[in-house]
Each structure stands twice: as C-alpha cells, then as structure tokens.
Chains A and B, each alone.
Chain A
Amino acid sequence: MSRNAVPLTIALPPYHHVNELRSAGVDLAGVDASFVDPRTPDADVFELPLLDHLVAREAGDDRVTALPVFLSRRFLHSWIHVRNGGPELVEPDPTASVYARGILLDMGETADVVVAPPAALRGVEGVRPLFARPAVLERQWLAATQVFPILRVLCVRTELLRSHRWLGSNLYRAFEVARRRYFARLEDIRGSRVPIPSAAAHLHRLRETFGGEAWSYGVEPNRPTLQAFLRYAAAQEIAVHRADVAELFAPVEPFVDFTDGV
C-alpha cells in the first residue's frame, strides 16, 4: 500500500465474491482499506437495499452515492407465498417484496401474498408457496425479461468521492476484479475451490442460460433489471419513474482487463 493512501472503512457481510479484496489479493489502488463488522455505523463503504437508496434519492438526500456493484441478488419466485388466513407476517426484505409484487402484477396475479425465504416460512400454518416449481418460472422469466433482481447496492459517503475524484472508479474496479477471480475459481477444473460437486458444470449451464456471465456489475449489463425495479416501484407508488437508471449511480470508468499491462 502506498504512502498517503486514503483510509477507508468497509462494512460488508462476508460475501465470498469479495474475498479476494478482503484478503488483499486484489489491490484497492490508493486506498488503505479496513474491513469492519457489517453492523458498524458510519462506515465509509457499505451497502443499502436498492429500495432504500431509491427512496433517499427521491427525497433529494445525496449524502451517500451508489456504485453499480451488486453483491446481493436472487431470483424471487420461490419467495412468493400465498396466505390463506394465516398470521400477519413481516416481510424481511422490502426490496425483494417490490420485485415480487411487480412480478405478480405483470402476471395479472392478485393473490394475497407474503414474500419471504421459503426456509423462513416452512411449516407456518396457512402459508404455502405460490409456485410449485419456481426455478422453472425463474428461468422463463429471465429469458423473457433479462431481469435478475438486484437487492442491494454498494454505497460510498459522497464527501469522500468529492475529495478524491478517482475513488469511485478505483472501488468499482477492485470489486470487479475480485468478482472475476471468484468466478474463475468456481470454474477451475484443476481443483475444487468450493465444496460443490460439479461446480464448473453448474457454472457452464448458467453461462448457457444467461447467454454469458450470470452475475455482472455495471449499469449497462444490468439495465433491464434496474429499469424493471423502477417500473415496479412506480407502479407500487413508492417512487416516480425516473428517465434513466444511470442517475442512481456514480459514473465509473468501465473495467478493461489489461492482463498484459504494467
């Protein structure tokens, strides 16, 4: 690490796709990063639910700036449960709920639903999954819409970006390199870097399903997902529909892999 590097605290859950950054295998150029407990208040770099970020922006709050780094995302058809007179249940992830209700709206489905991980609702009386084979629907939905729900966005305190105009792009680059190295490990046929039988085979199938990388950062490859979220939020009267999803993020230098560069 260079002298006079900018000290930053980074508060994130132990994402495996950030491991290479956490272990300092990836250089965060110009930054002296310390990873702190994810619950640490006032960290310099942290995550917000996509919904919270959108709502803050709607309110004109720009103390925090998002980067197009998406660490948490998942398909949500399996999270949609119908409730037949069961208990009142708190939905754990409001961003996931917005996607799920948007999906139902698009399908013309009007059931009374509760949106939560299947494991959390198993055995709860009066509650059952809406879809019998959600993974099949999720694949069809991906093919039809190119949407892979983004649940959280990476955020930086805006004043830091103002003080160091290079910081946003350097952070983006470092997370991108860490992500690439992580996925290269999953597809490594020389050794099993994860305890998942046929991990490379599953990744190979994902590549076919997605027509390329499953899990990308950056606004452009994620435009259909972000646009769908804004449309759903507007339909649910959470936010007005914005002209361009790029407004939600700091502009960053696109990643170029200078493999042979010095």
Chain B
Amino acid sequence: MSSPLRFTFAISSYDHVQAVVDGRIPIEGAEPLFIRLPIPEMFRRFVTTRDWDVSEMSFVQYGTIRASGDDGIVGIPVFPSRLYRQTAIFVRSDRIREPEDLRGRRIGVVAWANSAAVWARGLLGDMHGIGPADVEWYQGGVERPGRPEVVQPPHLPAGVRIHRVTDRGLEEMLWSGDLEAIVVPSPPASVESSIASNGLVRLLYEDFPEAERLYRERTHCVPIMHVVALDRALFDRDPSLARRIYDALDRARREYFADLAETSATLVPIPWLDEHLAAVAADVGPDVWPYGVDANRPTLEVYLRYLHEQGLADAGFGTADLFPEWAELAA
C-alpha cells in the first residue's frame, strides 16, 4: 500500500465541513494538513502564491480565472459558503430609501471581482433593473485604503466606470457622504453598530428575509460564494484525489442533514427549520444545498449570466467550462 498523500488544505469553519477537518470523515488515501485563516488572506494567498495545495476560494475569482483560459487551478463542485447578498448592501438612509434610489449614485466595493459584489450587482439588475453602468463604482479597502484587485475584470461592458480609491477607506467615504452605499461581504464595526441602533447607515433591505424570498422565488438560486479548488500541480500528480476530496466533503454535508432529521434529540436547535427548508425547497428544488454540477445548474446559470453581464467572462463560457476536469473524472 502506498503511503498517504500529504498536502495542505485551507478552509474556513463550517458545520457541514467540520467532520472532515476533525478527521472523523477521512479523505481516502490522504493525510491533509488543514489551515484556517481569515477568509480574505486565505483566498488571496492561494490565488497569488499557491501557499496551499487545496483551498476554499472565491467562486467569482475561480470563474474569472478559468474564463480567461488559465487552468492552473482545478475546481471541484463543492460549495461551502452560499448566501443571498441582500445582506451585503449598506446604504446611507438619508439618501437611499428604496433600491431604485441607487441609480446614478456612488457605491463602494472591495473588488469588482468580489463574490458578494457580483451577486449584489446581479440582484440589483434582476430585481430593480439597475445595471452595472447605471452606478458609479468605487473600489478599495473598507477600513484601510488601497486593497488591490486580485483578478482584473477583462471584458468590462461599455459605460461601466470604476474609480480606484487609494487614499481612504470605503467606510470613511460612506460616513463622510462621498458614497451613498457600500457592498461588502463583512460589514465594518461602525456599520454593524449603526444597523443595530437604526443609525444613519442601514441595510438596503431592512426586511431582508422577504427580499431574499422574493429573489429566490424569481431566480430559483442559492448564490454560491465559495468553491473548493486544487492547485494544478497536485491535481496532475493524482487526479483521483479530487474525487476523494469531493466524496469526503459530500459525506460531511449529508451527515449534517441527517442530524437535522434526528428526532430523539434536537441536535440542531432551530425551531421550525423543517418549515423553513420546505419553503426554500419550493423555490430551489428538494435538495437545498447540493454539491455537483447538475444539481446546481439553475444557480450556476444565473452566476454565469452575472459574470457575462459584469465583464468577468465572455458569453461563450458556459457551465461545462467551469469544471472540465471534474466532468472528465466523472465520465
């Protein structure tokens, strides 16, 4: 028997992944070293310097990189983080009352190719007809100035204006009135406390449960933020490793849902969760959190449309092009 393959695997903390990180669910024939760091650093160090062999990463960056023809990163259709980004849009309540008020106004984003920003722009288009060219975009760091774009948008549509901010943070610009809104995956403390106290800066969708429901009803998707991917060098050394990683993560996912169904004790302490999941399933299909390409097709199609509309992939790039190595393994 050959010795287990050693590699590094960077992934954040998820209840549907933890059993793999703990080693309770092994990755067959593998001896991974798990690394957890703040998400932005973990993702950037994988994309820019390949500091680890396997990594959770931004799904928008992944799609953008693959659409550019670069196949140095091999994704598997495992999606640990999915969120409706109705809760990532923060506005000055003195200037923005309705989503439509954002037309022609100034919105800050941490990166054009940030997953939260892509899904938020997509929903502004789908729900309110506000396109990428209908807003002035400001890109930069939230608390500290000068966060660089890790991935450059290759095909920006005509009329889209992105102003790069290097001397101030987006948070400061929002409070001083030089932005009407920011779209950020993780709100700074001043924004969090302002939301909690009904201050000047608020969520665009104060009734976000209803906004998420309406979006889900219209698009049938559960937005994907993150994907799991392998460095090409590791993938080429042992292509079947991708399948084994998928199998372990999928087993952990299924165990989570088995815990939900347990009736002897409430392993997952969320009242009326079955009712909530039934309502979600009515919009997105019976499996509300699937891995794999086919089961995620409605979400992947919306995602690819957003990449096209926002200049991150050309129109010829389709679902089959997202995970070509995976399709070959499965064939």
Q: Is A bound to B? A: yes
- The answer to whether A198 and B84 have CB atoms under 8 Å apart is yes
The yes or no answer to B288 lying at the interface (CB within 8 A) is: yes
The yes or no answer to A117 lying at the interface (CB within 8 A) is: yes
Bound-state CA distance A203–B273 (Å) is 10
Residues of B contacting A71 with CB < 8 Å?
265-266, 269
- The answer to whether A73 and B266 have CB atoms under 8 Å apart is yes
Binds B, one of A11-19, A100-108, A226-234, A243-251: A11-19
Bound-state CA distance A156–B267 (Å) is 20
- The answer to whether B272 and A14 have CB atoms under 8 Å apart is no
- The answer to whether A202 and B273 have CB atoms under 8 Å apart is yes
A187-223: CB near B (< 8 Å → 1, else 0) gives 0011111111110111111100000001100000000
A116-129: CB near B (< 8 Å → 1, else 0) gives 01011000000000
The contact size tier of chain A is: 35 or more
The yes or no answer to A74 lying at the interface (CB within 8 A) is: yes
Bound-state CA distance A193–B268 (Å) is 13
Which A133-185 residues sit within 8 Å CB-CB of chain B?
A: 135, 138, 148, 151-152, 179, 182, 185
Among A75, A196, A200, A202: residue with most chain B CB under 10 A: A196
The yes or no answer to A186 lying at the interface (CB within 8 A) is: yes
* Interchain nearest-CB distance for A76 vs B (Å): 11
- The answer to whether A197 and B275 have CB atoms under 8 Å apart is no
Among A16, A119, A179, A206: residue with most chain B CB under 10 A: A16
Bound-state CA distance A90–B267 (Å) is 22
- The answer to whether A16 and B268 have CB atoms under 8 Å apart is yes
Interface size on B, residues (CB 8 A): 48
- The answer to whether B272 and A197 have CB atoms under 8 Å apart is no
Residues of A contacting B3 with CB < 8 Å?
none
- The answer to whether A196 and B288 have CB atoms under 8 Å apart is yes
Q: What residue in chain B is nearest A208 (Cβ atoms)? A: B209
The yes or no answer to A9 lying at the interface (CB within 8 A) is: no
The yes or no answer to B48 lying at the interface (CB within 8 A) is: no
Bound-state CA distance A196–B277 (Å) is 8
- The answer to whether B87 and A200 have CB atoms under 8 Å apart is yes
CB within 8 Å for A198 and B280 given contacts A75-B271, A191-B12, A214-B271 = yes
Residues of B contacting A214 with CB < 8 Å?
270-271
Residues of A contacting B14 with CB < 8 Å?
191-195
* Interchain nearest-CB distance for B171 vs A (Å): 15
The yes or no answer to A92 lying at the interface (CB within 8 A) is: yes
Residues of B contacting A194 with CB < 8 Å?
14-16, 256, 268
Q: What residue in chain A is nearest B221 (Cβ atoms)? A: A197
Residues of B contacting A205 with CB < 8 Å?
209
Give chain A's interface residues, CB within 8 Å of chain B. 13-17, 19, 47, 71-75, 92-93, 117, 119-120, 135, 138, 148, 151-152, 179, 182, 185-186, 189-198, 200-206, 214-215
Jot down 10 A-B pairs with beta carbons below 8 A, ordered by A. Answer: A13-B265, A13-B267, A15-B267, A16-B269, A151-B265, A195-B253, A201-B208, A201-B209, A202-B209, A204-B209
